[in-house]
Every structure is written in structure tokens, then in C-alpha cells.
Amino acid sequence: MILTVTLNTALDITYRVPGLRPHASHRVTEVAERPGGKGLNVARVLAALGHPVTVTGFAGGSTGATVRASLAGVPGVVDALVPVAGATRRTVAVVDERTGDTTQLNEPGPVVAPAEWNAFQEAYEGLLAGAAAVALCGSLPPGVPVGAYAGLVRAARAAGVPVLLDTSGEPLRRGVAARPDLIKPNADELAELTGSHEPLRATQAARRRGARSVVASLGSAGLLAETPEGRWRAAPPAQVRGNPSGAGDSAVAGLLSGLVEHLPWPDRLARAVALSAATVLSPVAGEFDRAAYEELLGRGVAVTAEADAA
């Protein structure tokens, strides 16, 4: 199975409105609720691809209960979330149907007590024994040490489990130093980590900081990969418009599924780009338009080798 870790789980709420205007009242045309947080989005996509997934992290309060009840209805996903006293956060996405743009509102998450953090670490180390790969995803809730991901990366490496890290800021900087197998920052996160705004130089710098491989998400321009086996760019044949929430998480699912299936890097990247674009076309995060995914994968993700930065 693949293990995904979401320390700051959420209940994702998506509102669709005819047009979003500041300082105005809006009539919502559609509302959807889903279990959220980056790792849970990754898990749902992996399950849809046919991979058994176990999810762990924290869940608490009535919102956490709603998240867990929803997960129980997702085939292929096993719930191993650790209970906390605080309430799981909510995230709200407001989709402007006129422009396709999305406005995101993210709550901070519950305060995690030291005993709860210790209970999670014990559960995590037990779950690693049955994992083919692990993804560490998203922000840290209040109370969790800023170096948490570094410790979780080291535990995975000690267990011989490939580990992907998808976070930002100081947790990413410390996590990279623990030598994860793969990181997947976006362009801003990569620039913050390395100090370079040139993507190719920045991916090379991130590898020097400790990551074995780096796949940078460049928005509509697709992905840039810096790996021991080579460097590639992968992009969709045309820009897609829609709800970008969860597109990066779907790319992570594509990379992880390709890893456990032992696909060559170009095929992993093509899958990740196709899933990401197909997720933009889906109304909510953690889902993708399967017909669009299969069409993109079959006809048009361009993957090209990349030369060294000058």
C-alpha cells in the first residue's frame, strides 16, 4: 500500500457563484464537501488509479468526524487518522463561474498537544512496515514541531520506504536536509527554498541541499524534473481553465503511482501532468475528469529532455 500523511487535515468546502465581487452578497449555485488536506487529496486520486492507500495524520471534533465518515465511503482508502482534542480545520474555495478563478480561505488547524504528536509518531512508524512509498503533505498544524517532516523523512529512510515531501517554508527547508527521495515544490516554494527564481538552477540547488529528485510545479507550464537519471520538462498540449484546487496533489499522486509501478521518469511526468490538468477540469479537489485524463495521457503531454543550466 501507499501511505499518505496529512498532519493538517481539513474539510474542503467548495462554493460556486455566478461571479465573485468584493463587498457584495453572493448567491451560491452549488456547494460540495469533501475530506481535504493535501495528503487526503493525493489518496483519493491514488485510489481512483487502483492503488490501495492508507491515510494518516490528525482528525478531531465534529469536523474531523465528518472527514472520517466521508473517507469511509471512498473505496481503496483505509483510515488510520490519529484523534486529537482540537477540531479539524475547514477550507473554503469560492469558484467564480464567469472567470473560472478560485478564491481560497484556509483555517489554521487544531493545536496538537505533545502527547498527541508522540502518539502520531508511534502510529506512523508502525504503518511504514507495510508501505511501498510514503507522501508527507501539506502544512503543519499549531503545536507540531517545525522540524516534524525532517524526522518523518528520516524514519521512512530508516525503514527503507521511498518518501516524497510536499510542503513549504521552514518545514520544507528542514525536511530537504533529511534527504527525501523526492520533493514537489511549486515555483514560489522552490525560489524560497533556494533563493533562485530560475527554475532549472533552483531545482539543481534543491538537489544539492539534500533532495534526491526534485519535480517543480510551474503552473500552466507543467513540471520540471531534476533527477539522478536526467532532467525533463513536461507540459499539457494547451492551457486548461477551471478549479486549480488539488491540481498539485494530483501531480503528486501521478508521481507516487509511477514510482511504485517502476515507470521511467518521462512516463511518471506525463501521468502527473495529465492528472493535474484533468483535476483542474473537475469541480472539486481530490477528483479528476477521467475522460480528460485518458485523452491527455494518450495524445498530448509533451515530455522533453532538458540541458544543464548555464
Per-residue confidence (pLDDT) for residue 308, from 0 to 100: 65
Span 14-38, pLDDT tens digits: 899 999 998 889 999 999 888 989 9
Residue for grid cell 481503496: 76
Backbone angle region of 135, left / alpha / beta, with phi > 0 → left and psi within -120 to 50 → alpha: beta
For the purposes of burial, counting CB atoms within 10 Å of the CB of 28, is it exposed (0-12), middle (13-18) or buried (19 or more)?
Answer: exposed
Query: Per-residue pLDDT tens for 40-58?
Result: 999 999 999 999 999 999 9
Q: What cell does 133 get?
A: 512509498
pLDDT of res. 279: 81
pTM of the model: 0.90
pLDDT digits over 253-295, tens only? Answer: 999 999 999 999 999 999 999 898 888 776 666 678 777 777 7
Given the residues 166, 181, 249, 289, the one annotated as active site? 249
Q: Return the percentage of the chain with pLDDT > 90, whole number.
A: 70
Rg (CA), the chain: 18
User: Active site includes 249?
Assistant: yes
> Where does the pLDDT of residue 130 fall: very low under 50, low under 70, confident under 90, or very high at 90 and above?
very high
Give the whole-number percent of the chain exceeding pLDDT 70: 95
Provide the sign of the torsion angle of the four alpha carbons 156, 217, 92, 110, taken in this order.
positive
DSSP alpha helix (H) spans, the chain? 38-48, 61-71, 114-128, 148-158, 169-177, 187-194, 199-208, 247-260, 265-280, 290-299
